[in-house]
């Protein structure tokens, strides 16, 4: 349950009074989110809102996320949801020792990762990448400041801390040989705003399987589109046993490529960036659950992504993968 800051009815009303002249009539905790306390609040005019309180972020980080949402919104990305402003025109509130935001409630649902859902998520990601203006603000934070890209993963593997995570280090070495690492380090990949965590469960659909919203831009920043592809595919294109499905990856990439042309390097190294996507989120989980202990009983959750990476490499060879996905 994603509720770390427990709110009473009077607490909720105190926060709502900062925004509306309305009364809460129903309060429900949500089971989504990792570092936020999330509540769905029904108001007396029958409208609903999402109340989020951050348990591990400062105001600056929320403002960085909001800047990204605004830039994407202005560039034409229609799935970004902006936080509401309160009576004094601020998009955040303080409650006790925490900072929070209120968002409009989107009455959609998460869909299981079928071929159709993988197609739609690929479409959403291509929308995010292609709709960006050419003059993206220089104030957008770099992805490497809040996530894990190739260099930070290499640094971790070389560090003494990795001795406590030998399974991570072994997976890195088995799945990404030194020759490939050297090639990846030489790439000049297209850059822009990336979501950084676009798993299928961060997309809301209506009953007709149309996308209503893309959620949780907490890992968003300025980085390589290919890493965003790798992360999204690694957490979306899954079979019934939660392992990567080359067939679903093909659906995803075909949909993505209809709107956002991939460069030759992006095609040639997609396979490796899917592995990097798994290693990136695995390391993020180590940081969140093992170092910072944001959520209890999740200390081993990073391992499922290592298993997924190892099985992907074991069952799908690079050359076969390229031919299957791109037909060449």
CATH number at residue 96: 3.30.200.20
User: Do both 98 and 168 map to the same domain?
Assistant: no
For residues 150 and 280, membership in a common domain is answered with yes
Does 184 have pLDDT greater than 60? yes
For residues 196 and 234, membership in a common domain is answered with yes
Query: CB atoms < 10 A from the CB of 302, how many?
Result: 23
Nearest to 250 by CA among 184, 316, 301: 316
pLDDT at 2 over 50: no
pLDDT tens for each residue of 266-311? 999 999 999 999 999 999 999 999 998 877 789 999 999 999 999 9
Please list, in sequence order, all residues whose beta carbon lies within 8 angstroms of the beta carbon of residue 39, skipping any fewer than 6 positions away: 3, 7, 12, 27, 28, 29, 30, 50, 51, 52
Question: Could you tell me if 121 and 57 lie in one domain?
Answer: no
Q: What is the dihedral of CA 311, 247, 121, 208, to 10 degrees?
A: -130
Query: Taking a C-beta distance cutoff of 8 angstroms, is the pair 273, 229 a contact?
Result: yes
Q: What angle do CA 78, 82, 85 make, to 5 degrees?
A: 145
H-assigned helices in the chain = 9-16, 59-75, 115-130, 150-158, 166-175, 178-186, 225-234, 246-259, 264-268, 270-285, 302-315, 318-326
| Domain termination residue (choose one: 104, 135, 168) | 104
Place 5 in a pLDDT band, splitting at 50, 70 and 90. Answer: low
Give a yes or no: residue 125 inside a domain.
yes
Quick one: average pLDDT of 70-95?
93
Same domain, 99 and 119: no
Whether residues 310 and 162 share a domain: the answer is yes
Do 121 and 78 fall into the same domain? no
Question: Does residue 2 fall inside a structural domain?
Answer: no
For residues 100 and 63, membership in a common domain is answered with yes
Give per-residue pLDDT as tens, 235-278. Answer: 999 999 999 999 999 999 999 999 999 999 999 999 999 999 99
Which pTM value belongs to this model?
0.94
The answer to whether position 1 is within a domain reads no
Residue at 34 is within a domain? yes
104, 133, 161 - which closes a domain: 104
Query: Does residue 270 sit in the same domain as residue 320?
Result: yes
Query: Where a domain ends, among 70, 104, 138?
Result: 104
Give a yes or no: residue 109 inside a domain: no
Q: Is the pLDDT of residue 55 over 90?
A: no
pLDDT at 165 over 70: yes
Q: Is residue 124 part of a domain?
A: yes
Q: Is residue 110 part of a domain?
A: no
- Contacts of residue 155, defined as CB under 8 A and 6 or more positions apart, other chains included, come to none
The answer on 142 and 59 residing in a single domain is no
Q: What is the pLDDT of residue 158?
A: 97
What is the number of structural domains in the chain?
2
Q: Mean pLDDT over all residues of the chain?
A: 93
The reported pLDDT for the residue numbered 133 is 55
Provide mean pLDDT across the span 215-223: 94
CA–CA dist 247, 237 (Å, integer): 8
Q: Which of 207, 184, 177 is nearest to 265 (CA)?
A: 184
CB neighbour class for 296 (10 Å; exposed up to 12, middle 13-18, buried from 19): exposed
Q: Could you tell me if 82 and 124 lie in one domain? A: no
pLDDT score of 7? 87
Which range marks the domain in which residue 270 is found? 115-326
Residue range 19-48, pLDDT digits in tens: 999 999 999 988 655 667 889 999 999 999
Assess if residue 4 is contained within a domain: no
Q: Are residues 133 and 169 in the same domain?
A: yes
Q: Looking at residue 243, which CATH number applies to its domain?
A: 3.90.1200.10
pLDDT at 32: 54
């Amino acid at each position: 349950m994603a509720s770390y800051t427990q709110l009473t009815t009077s607490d909720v009303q105190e926060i709502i009074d900062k925004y509306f002249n309305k009364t809460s009539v129903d309060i429900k905790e949500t089971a989504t989110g990792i570092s936020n306390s999330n509540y769905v609040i029904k108001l007396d005019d029958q409208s609903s809102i999402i109340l989020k309180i951050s348990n591990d972020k400062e105001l600056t980080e929320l403002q960085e996320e909001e800047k990204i949402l605004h830039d994407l919104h202005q560039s034409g990305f229609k799935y970004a949801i902006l936080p509401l402003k309160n009576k004094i025109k601020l998009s955040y509130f303080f409650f006790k020792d925490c900072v929070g935001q209120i968002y409009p409630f989107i009455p959609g649902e998460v869909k299981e990762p079928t071929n159709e859902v993988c197609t739609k998520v690929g479409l959403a990601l291509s929308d995010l990448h292609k709709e960006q203006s050419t003059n993206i603000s220089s104030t957008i934070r770099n992805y490497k400041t809040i996530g894990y890209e190739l260099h930070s993963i290499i640094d971790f593997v070389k560090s003494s801390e990795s001795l406590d995570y030998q399974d991570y280090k072994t997976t890195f070495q088995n799945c990404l040989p030194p020759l490939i690492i050297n090639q990846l380090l030489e790439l000049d990949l297209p850059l822009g705003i990336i979501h950084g965590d676009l798993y299928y469960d961060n997309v809301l659909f209506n009953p007709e399987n149309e996308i209503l919203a893309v959620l949780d831009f907490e890992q968003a920043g300025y980085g390589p589109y290919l890493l965003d592809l790798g992360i999204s595919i690694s957490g979306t294109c899954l079979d019934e046993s939660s392992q990567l499905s080359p067939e679903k990856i093909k659906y995803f990439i075909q949909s993505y490529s209809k709107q956002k042309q991939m460069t030759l390097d992006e095609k040639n190294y997609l396979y490796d960036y899917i592995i990097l996507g798994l290693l990136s989120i695995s390391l993020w989980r180590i940081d969140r659950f093992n170092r910072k202990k944001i959520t209890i009983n999740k200390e081993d959750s990073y391992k499922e992504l290592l298993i997924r990476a190892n099985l992907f490499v074991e069952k799908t060879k690079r050359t076969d993968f390229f031919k299957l996905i791109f037909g060449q």
